[in-house]
């Protein structure tokens, strides 16, 4: 019953800690690539511009990764955080919308290293029929339902205009998709057990703009 103990332990971890884990994972990956075997919380703190005590506190949530006077074992910590993030399992995914953004996502080969396996793209543009991106085919949107019934796909990235997004999301969910990575400029209304992670680019640009105007006010 080990996993149940683990589960209980994980559920207590705050959202704030969880939201910092991908960043830890990214930094540890860079260290690994650079051949670094261990790192103190102080050194990691300088690199990440987070206080050392924050790092110790965050990582203590997951048990004793660090050893006093030795620091953290980079590879071990990287692997364990990867497991918590679910990166030790493969996730098949598709991209709906093979325009520039869809193609940009399809070209991030590094997703594959983390277990996100792109299986197909879909689009309505007949000129994209039969085109492949890194060997991965673009199919026509009217093949989507049949495709989902025959293939085991967990995640769909939506890079569609917002007018189409809701309708396509419903088809995805009706055909077994469990998680949607949403780039459409809209919030999707979906059953509660569907996991949605939205990237609202316009919202992000507005935050930037807000910070510029605050900065300008202070300069006056």
Query: Least distance to a copy of itself from the beta carbon of 210, Å?
Result: 5
**Do residues 150 and 143 lie in contact, with contact meaning Cβ atoms separated by under 8 Å?**
no
User: Based on CB atoms, which residue is closest to a copy of itself, 114 or 120?
Assistant: 114
User: Based on CB atoms, which residue is closest to a copy of itself, 7 or 129?
Assistant: 7
Query: Least distance to a copy of itself from the beta carbon of 104, Å?
Result: 4
Residues within the interface to a copy of itself (CB under 8 A): 3, 7, 10-11, 18-19, 21-23, 25-26, 48-49, 84-87, 89, 91, 99-101, 103-105, 107-108, 110-111, 114-116, 154-155, 178-179, 181, 185, 187, 189, 193, 195, 197, 199-215, 217-218, 220
CA separation for the pair 199, 113 (Å, rounded)? 21
User: Based on CB atoms, which residue is closest to a copy of itself, 4 or 69?
Assistant: 4
Query: Least distance to a copy of itself from the beta carbon of 68, Å?
Result: 28
Q: Answer yes or no: is 146 a known binding residue.
A: no
Element (H, E) at 116: strand 116-123
Element (H, E) at 182: strand 179-182
Q: Answer yes or no: is 99 a known binding residue.
A: yes
**Residue closest to 114 by CA, chosen among 152, 153, 82, 76:** 82
Strands 66-67 and 71-73: antiparallel
Q: Answer yes or no: is 97 a known binding residue.
A: yes
CA atoms within 13 A on the CB side of 115: 11
Query: Least distance to a copy of itself from the beta carbon of 208, Å?
Result: 4
Torsion on CA atoms 100, 106, 110, 116, rounded to nearest 10: 140
Query: Least distance to a copy of itself from the beta carbon of 22, Å?
Result: 4
Q: Answer yes or no: is 102 a known binding residue.
A: yes
CA separation for the pair 106, 112 (Å, rounded)? 10
- Cα 37 to Cα 14, 26, 65, 72, 73: the distances in Å are 28, 15, 13, 8, 6
User: Based on CB atoms, which residue is closest to a copy of itself, 142 or 217?
Assistant: 217
User: Based on CB atoms, which residue is closest to a copy of itself, 18 or 141?
Assistant: 18
Cite the annotated binding site for NAD(+) by residue number.
Answer: 97-102
Cite the annotated binding site by residue number.
Answer: 97-102
């Amino acid at each position: 019953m080990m996993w149940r103990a683990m589960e209980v332990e994980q559920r207590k971890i705050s959202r704030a800690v969880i939201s910092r884990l991908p960043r830890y994972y990214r930094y540890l990956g860079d260290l690994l690539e650079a051949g670094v075997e261990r790192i103190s919380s102080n050194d990691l703190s300088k690199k990440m511009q987070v206080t050392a005590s924050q790092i110790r506190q965050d990582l203590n949530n997951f048990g004793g990764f660090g050893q006093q006077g030795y620091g953290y074992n980079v590879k071990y910590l990287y692997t364990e955080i990867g497991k918590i993030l679910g990166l030790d399992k493969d996730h098949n995914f598709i991209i709906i919308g093979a325009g520039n953004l869809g193609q940009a996502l399809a070209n991030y080969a590094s997703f594959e290293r983390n277990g996100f396996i792109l299986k197909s793209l879909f689009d309505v543009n007949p000129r994209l029929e039969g085109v492949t991106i890194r060997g991965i085919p673009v199919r026509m949107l009217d093949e989507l339902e049949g495709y989902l019934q025959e293939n085991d796909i967990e995640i769909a990235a939506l890079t569609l205009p917002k007018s189409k997004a809701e309708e396509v999301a419903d088809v995805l969910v009706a055909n077994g998709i469990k998680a949607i990575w949403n780039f459409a400029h809209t919030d999707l209304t979906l059953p509660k057990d569907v996991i949605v992670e939205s990237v609202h680019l316009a919202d992000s640009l507005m935050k930037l703009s807000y910070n510029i105007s605050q900065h300008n006010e202070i300069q006056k």
